């Protein structure tokens, strides 16, 4: 997760460009320079500190004019300065989430403090690195590196938010993520930054996606135990009682540390009520639990937001929708052994369906994980990949099986364990999942539902692909297939064991 955000000040938090230009206009009228102000690119005038620009204008350092700049600034600032939209809200939100905030600015310290104080945001920041605090200002990374070393910050958990190319270069050379706040819709700078946002709400959402929804602790000398239920297909009928009875018995038998429902909790016009009832039912077990959506939860035209509203306040539920570009259930949970993160449990929305281009024709198929989701997962894992420490094991939970579940056939009995009674209903073509997951070698297993008569598991590229055991009593095929759950054990060494349990 991102624990530290460095902000540039002028042009990022504070709308001060007009003020800075007016200060220079006033100054050169009173003290004619050797070089015309108009001959210096506006971007340089705005990005560089006053001492640097004074040297460009007058051909030498003019510390005597600094006092003049202070005087002009005090006269003009009141009528010029204002915060960019939602600045106060974003700083309050980030601070309340425990994120430490710093300022890295080419502004003079006296002016920086005056502006931050006058706009009532000075108190949000742990420290300020101003022009006088470094020997080499931006684009040199000296200021950032100074903060990293003195505050003992982790580069993987940091970002620098700015608006100029010098900000981007400083962040890059310091080895941290760079964010471009493109308030003025200047696309020419985007190539220099890692990411671009046009509003602070986007920045807030981005950082939120990298925070675990929950942190759980492993017990000494015991594996962390997960119970996976899938495809409940609650229908608001008598079968629901049998399904809930199964849930209760399996939880009592296995005593899990965490419970996950991998989609198709419902398939009914009564889904909002059924979601609310499921949330209320799960509270009795006093065990952390989560869910992801399947392809049937929103049947009958019911909106995801409606279902979320019904269940979001359920006791012991750990859930958040995640980035709306990726669906409605994309988030992760930390599993720690003392202070070390040993596991990351990723909930991933596999969507409902999509059209794929096959033989140059759009072809319908079941939904699939988007590359952007998988890259998000990879970048989350990367933040935990510290030097001299083993990368934590990650487990992925989604509803629709990825294309790779077709890598074995029913006849290859030596290659899989479990029941293989129906053709996997996967997307029609593969994506870049295995390629992306192989970058960190973190993913130990992918656990799915969707196909009620499969619970087989096998290894593909050193990743366990495993169906859960159908837990609901809605049957679309042969009767008599026993219901149950899958149990997954994450060991202290990061390896996993798993088995199916049937009622």
DSSP-assigned letters across all residues of 264-313: -SB-STTHHHHHHHHHHHHGGG---EEEE--SSTTGGG--HHHHHHHHTT
Cβ contact 10:112 at 8 Å? no
Longest C-alpha distance within the chain, in Å?
A: 93
pLDDT in tens, the chain (503 residues): 899 999 999 999 999 988 999 999 999 999 999 999 999 999 889 889 999 999 999 998 888 899 999 999 999 988 888 999 999 999 999 999 999 999 999 999 999 999 999 999 999 999 999 999 999 999 999 999 999 999 999 999 999 999 999 999 999 999 999 999 999 899 999 999 999 999 999 999 999 999 999 999 999 999 999 999 999 999 999 999 999 999 999 999 999 999 999 999 999 999 999 999 999 999 999 999 999 999 999 999 999 999 999 999 999 999 999 988 899 999 999 999 998 999 999 999 999 999 999 999 999 999 999 999 999 999 999 888 776 668 899 999 999 999 999 999 999 999 999 999 999 999 999 999 999 999 888 999 999 999 999 999 999 999 999 999 999 999 888 788 999 999 999 999 999 999 999 98
Supply 29's token pair: 């009228």
Residue pointed to by tokens 């199964």: 246
Burial 153-165 (b: 16+ CB within 10 A, else e): beebbbbbbbbbb
| Pairing verdict, β 289-292 and 224-229 | unpaired
Res 207: pLDDT: 94
Q: How far is 132 from 453, CA to CA, in rounded Å?
A: 69
| Pairing verdict, β 224-229 and 158-162 | unpaired
Q: How far is 451 from 424, CA to CA, in rounded Å?
A: 7
Res 424: pLDDT: 97
* Long-range CB contacts for residues 303-307, cutoff 8 Å, separation at least 24: 304/328, 306/271, 306/272, 307/271, 307/272, 307/275
Q: How far is 229 from 263, CA to CA, in rounded Å?
A: 9
Distance set, CA 127 to CA 4, 100, 124, 150 (Å): 12, 10, 9, 11
Region for residue 20 given its phi and psi (left: phi exceeds 0; alpha: psi -120 to 50; beta: otherwise): alpha
Res 440: pLDDT: 86
Res 464: pLDDT: 98
Distance set, CA 174 to CA 156, 158, 169, 177 (Å): 11, 11, 8, 9
Res 387: pLDDT: 66
Res 388: pLDDT: 60
Q: How far is 19 from 25, CA to CA, in rounded Å?
A: 10
Closest CA to 453 of 479, 487, 491: 479
């Amino acid at each position: 997760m991102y624990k530290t955000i460095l902000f540039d000040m002028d042009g990022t938090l504070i709308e001060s460009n007009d003020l800075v230009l007016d200060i220079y206009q006033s100054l050169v009228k009173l003290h004619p320079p050797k070089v015309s102000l108009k001959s210096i690119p506006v971007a340089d005038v705005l990005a560089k500190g006053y001492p640097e620009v004074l040297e460009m204008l007058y051909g030498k350092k003019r510390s005597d004019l600094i006092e003049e700049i202070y005087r002009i600034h005090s006269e003009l600032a009141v009528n010029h300065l204002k915060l960019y939209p939602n600045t106060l809200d974003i700083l309050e939100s980030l601070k309340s989430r425990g994120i430490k905030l710093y300022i890295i600015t080419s502004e003079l310290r006296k002016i920086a403090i005056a502006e931050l104080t006058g706009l009532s945001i000075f108190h949000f920041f742990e420290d300020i690195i101003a022009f006088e605090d470094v020997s080499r200002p931006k684009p040199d990374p000296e200021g950032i590196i100074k903060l990293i070393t003195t505050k003992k910050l982790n580069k993987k958990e940091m970002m620098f938010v700015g608006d100029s190319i010098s900000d981007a270069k400083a962040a890059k050379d310091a080895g941290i993520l760079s964010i471009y706040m493109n308030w003025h819709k200047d696309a020419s700078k985007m190539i220099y930054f890692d990411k671009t946002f046009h509003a602070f709400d986007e920045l807030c959402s981005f950082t939120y996606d990298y925070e675990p929804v929950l942190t759980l602790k492993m017990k000494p000398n015991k594996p962390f135990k997960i119970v996976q239920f899938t495809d409940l297909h609650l229908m608001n009928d008598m079968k629901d009682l049998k399904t809930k009875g199964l849930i209760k018995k399996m939880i009592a038998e296995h005593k899990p540390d965490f419970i996950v429902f991998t989609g198709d909790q419902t398939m009914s016009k009564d889904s909002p009520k059924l979601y609310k009832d499921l949330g209320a039912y799960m509270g009795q077990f006093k065990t952390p639990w989560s869910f992801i959506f399947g392809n049937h939860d929103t049947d009958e035209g019911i909106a995801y937001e409606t279902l979320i509203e019904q269940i979001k306040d359920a006791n012991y539920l750990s859930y958040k929708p995640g980035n709306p570009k990726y669906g409605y259930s994309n988030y992760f949970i930390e599993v720690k052994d003392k202070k070390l993160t040993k596991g990351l449990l990723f909930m991933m929305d596999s969507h409902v369906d999509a059209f794929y281009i096959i033989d140059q024709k759009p072809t319908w198929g079941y939904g699939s994980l988007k590359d952007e989701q998988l890259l998000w997962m990879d970048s989350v894992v990367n933040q935990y990949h510290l030097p001299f420490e083993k990368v934590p094991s990650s487990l992925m939970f989604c509803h629709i099986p990825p294309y790779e579940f077709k890598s074995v056939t029913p006849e290859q009995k030596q290659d899989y364990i479990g029941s293989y009674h129906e053709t996997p209903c996967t997307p029609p073509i593969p994506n870049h999942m295995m390629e992306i997951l192989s970058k960190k070698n973190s993913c130990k297993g992918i656990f799915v539902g969707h196909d009620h008569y499969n619970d087989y598991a096998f290894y593909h590229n050193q990743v366990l692909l495993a169906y859960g055991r159908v837990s609901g009593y809605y049957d679309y095929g042969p009767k008599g297939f026993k219901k149950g759950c899958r149990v997954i054990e994450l060991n202290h060494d990061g390896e996993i064991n798993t088995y199916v349990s049937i009622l």
